[in-house]
Amino acid sequence: MRFRPIFFVASLVLVLATARPAPAQFKQADEKGPKLGQSQVVKWQAGLVIKATSGACRGVEAYAPVPSEWPEQEVKIDKEDFSPSAKVDYMEADGGVKVMLIRIPLLPPGEESRALATFEIRHSAQLPPEDTSIYTIPKKRKLDRSMLRYLGTSPFIETRSSTIRSLARKLGADKKTDWERVEAIYDHVREQVKQKQGPLAGGLAALRSGEGSHEDMVSLFIALCRAKGVPARTVWIPGHCYAEFYLLDDEGKGHWFPCQVAGARAFGEMNEFRPILQKGDNFRPPYDRRDQQRYMAVHLSVADTPSKPSVKFVHKTVPD
């Protein structure tokens, strides 16, 4: 009997090697957005190693997300290690996630195929703006359609909850500027939710129980922002995540500002050098547009094989 299995593998990376500091920033962000400070460089490896065990594998197809560029992050390919049997392309998936698409038409019994790319990533710290009074919450009707995902619901970000929406209306109501109104949401989450280790429960659960993981706290902050009309999203780095919120400057140009919801206070700034893996929290993966993912996962399918192959997805920092 022959098998036609599909394997799914998902992982949020927990490994980070020591980065080397750079003497200066690689480029400057928008004039009225976050300013860039000191930068650091790391090498990040992503891809797949697969070995056919007791029988040939036919029609192997894999997807592996890889880091992409952002205003505070520069990415370039340092090295590629592709076996002759592996056909590799890079594509942009839903939400702007860059994905390595790996196809292996035939992998004979006992043979191994590799598709590994090493990226050099320079990530800069973000400094707070000098004048926060110039920023305003955008009008939904004037936002680009691509921005609407950052106002809706996402897995574990319950923007439509009546409890979330009621609280969002109250928070910051006494503040003079929109920046202060977003900061009031930030302060409320930090003051009212006690950080603890545990499985992901979501923003609403953290609000109700008064405790949650750092990811729950980020989810609650994002849900409250969105309920108030402020676009917000999750930023994923190895072993952690933080939030970004979006405001317009006095010329009507939009900017994303970071904040560290759990841990040391950092609002409108980010002293972080771990590589940004993805931004967003509601993805439709290219291999199944019906699926909804909080973090776009790796994926493998094999059209025809008599036995399950040995599979290792790689996502880690590597030394110089």
CATH of the domain at 29: 2.60.40
What average pLDDT score do residues 62-68 get? 97
Q: Do 114 and 136 share a structural domain?
A: no
Q: Do 250 and 221 share a structural domain?
A: yes
12 pLDDT higher than 60: no
Q: Do 173 and 300 share a structural domain?
A: no
Q: Do 27 and 147 share a structural domain?
A: no
148 pLDDT higher than 60: yes
Residue 1, in any domain of the structure: no
Residue 201, in any domain of the structure: yes
Residue 29, in any domain of the structure: yes
Least confident of 8-17, 55-64, 98-107, 255-264: 8-17
The range of the structural domain enclosing residue 68 comes to: 6-125+283-318
User: 15: which residues sit within 8 A by CB, 6+ positions away?
Assistant: 238, 239, 316, 317
Residue 73, in any domain of the structure: yes
Domain count, the chain: 2
Residue 275, in any domain of the structure: no
CATH of the domain at 226: 3.10.620.30
Residue type, 167: L
91 pLDDT higher than 80: yes
26 pLDDT higher than 50: no
Give the other-Cβ count within 10 Å of 229's Cβ. Answer: 15
Does the predicted model carry a pTM greater than 0.85?
Answer: yes
pLDDT at 28: 53
Residue 71, in any domain of the structure: yes
Q: Do 157 and 106 share a structural domain?
A: no
Residue 92, in any domain of the structure: yes
pLDDT at 104: 98
Per-residue pLDDT tens over the stretch 178-214:
999 999 999 999 999 999 999 999 999 999 999 999 9
Q: Do 246 and 171 share a structural domain?
A: yes
Q: Do 296 and 240 share a structural domain?
A: no
pLDDT at 165: 98
Q: Do 139 and 120 share a structural domain?
A: no
Least confident of 30-39, 156-165, 168-177, 297-306: 30-39
Q: Which residue has the higher pLDDT, 30 or 241?
A: 241
Q: Do 136 and 215 share a structural domain?
A: yes
Q: Do 261 and 143 share a structural domain?
A: yes
Q: Do 220 and 118 share a structural domain?
A: no
pLDDT at 145: 94
Q: Do 187 and 253 share a structural domain?
A: yes
Residue 303, in any domain of the structure: yes
